Amino acid sequence: MSSKFSFLTLVLLVACHVSAAEQTALPLEKLKLPAGYQISVFAQNVKNARQMAVSQQGIVFVGSRDAGLVHAVIDSNGDGVAEQVIKIASGLNMPSGLTIHQGDLYVAEVDRILKYADIEQHYQNLPPPEVVVSALPSEKHHGWKYIAFGPDGWLYVPVGAPCNICETNGGEQFDDPRFASILRFNLATGEKQWVAKGVRNSVGFDWHPVTQQFWFSDNGRDMLGDDIPPCELNAVTVPGEHFGFPYFHGGSLADPHFGQGKKSSTYTAPKLNLMAHVAPLGIHFYAGAMFDSKMQNRLFVAEHGSWNRTQKSGYRVMMATVENGKVSDYQPFVEGWLNSDNTAWGRPAAITSLADGSLLIADDFANVIYRVTYHQP
């Protein structure tokens, strides 16, 4: 590497560092949480912040919705406020999803998955990535990904429907069975399997810490009015089972165009129907040690928020109590990003935990990452 390149790289990295003095104040006082929980800004200027992955050293790598960027967020002194926000990759094709596995960073573009080896050692000067999954559908409509390696060691990758509502297996316009599904890949053998079919647009999933059951969020279709169909929380019992899209929504609501002649009993019903258009994205089972013990195995859901509803819905983080494979309770955890005048100043998109048990929430509208902590009230 030439000295000129080294100098330019250093300048770029320094320019991307964000100090506390440069941060813009946000109205955190509007956010409401249960007693004992506090929320603060962990990092700002993380443009279009989406899925997060935390390395062994505590570096938070962050994908982006439309900016084409991947960031590394560093809290070197462990005080809960990041001193550095570094752009480590740019010009990527909607790299919203990323994960870390065995020290390597995997980044999902629309039509392929990239691998950056030994990321902690190379994030300040990334080498060219290895393409580990290629030739995924290239349609950008619902092309944002959320990826993770499961307990089985396979890489899980959703492929959204390239439309509001359409048939994607034998349909006239889009005939590719990979659309509207969740896939998994064995990177060692190259094998591919279906995890779930009939999934309109999942941009969040996780495994229950005890049962290891696979849960995912799904965004309901648009243009049926303010109050239907519901968005969904789902769980897979049998790999490859069909969750209804485009024929049924919310388990029992027949689509006015595609549901004719179909039976709802053919498809797997949601574990919970959510409010219409709340747009659930990232979900995260809590298994940390900081929060109150009743939060163990609680499922946190980032409701990103509606765009085509008269009175907006979502714009909050919810918490679901999962007992014996069912949702027994669903309540707000953080709310207040939606103003009384039907405008919003933030949109939660993804959730993860730090090693200390605090919760991180990515906001792709305010371009920040929040940190939630708990102190016994």
Inside any domain, residue 7:
no
pLDDT (0 to 100) of residue 11: 32
- Considering the chain, what is the average pLDDT of its residues? 93
Inside any domain, residue 3:
no
Specify the range with the lowest mean pLDDT, choosing from 13-17, 202-206, 252-256: 13-17
pLDDT digits (tens, 9 = 90+) for 131-188: 999 999 999 999 999 999 999 999 999 999 999 999 987 766 787 999 999 999 999 9
Inside any domain, residue 232:
yes
Inside any domain, residue 4:
no
User: Residue 115: which CATH number?
Assistant: 2.120.10.30
Average pLDDT over residues 277-301: 98
pLDDT (0 to 100) of residue 172: 67
CA 100 to mean position of chain CA atoms: 14
Burial of 41 (0-12, 13-18, 19+ CB in 10 A): buried
CA 221 to mean position of chain CA atoms: 18
Judged by DSSP in three states, 213 sits in coil
pLDDT at 105 over 50: yes
62 DSSP 8-state letter: E
CA 134 to mean position of chain CA atoms: 21
Inside any domain, residue 247:
yes
- Dist. CA 253–CA 244, nearest whole Å: 10
Inside any domain, residue 5:
no
Name the phi and psi angles at 96, rounded to 5: -75, -30
Inside any domain, residue 229:
yes
* Residue 257 zone, left/alpha/beta (φ > 0; ψ -120 to 50; rest): alpha
**Structural domain of 192:** 16-374
Inside any domain, residue 47:
yes
Percent of the chain with pLDDT over 90: 90
As for how many domains the chain has, the answer is: 1
pLDDT (0 to 100) of residue 211: 97
pLDDT (0 to 100) of residue 169: 79
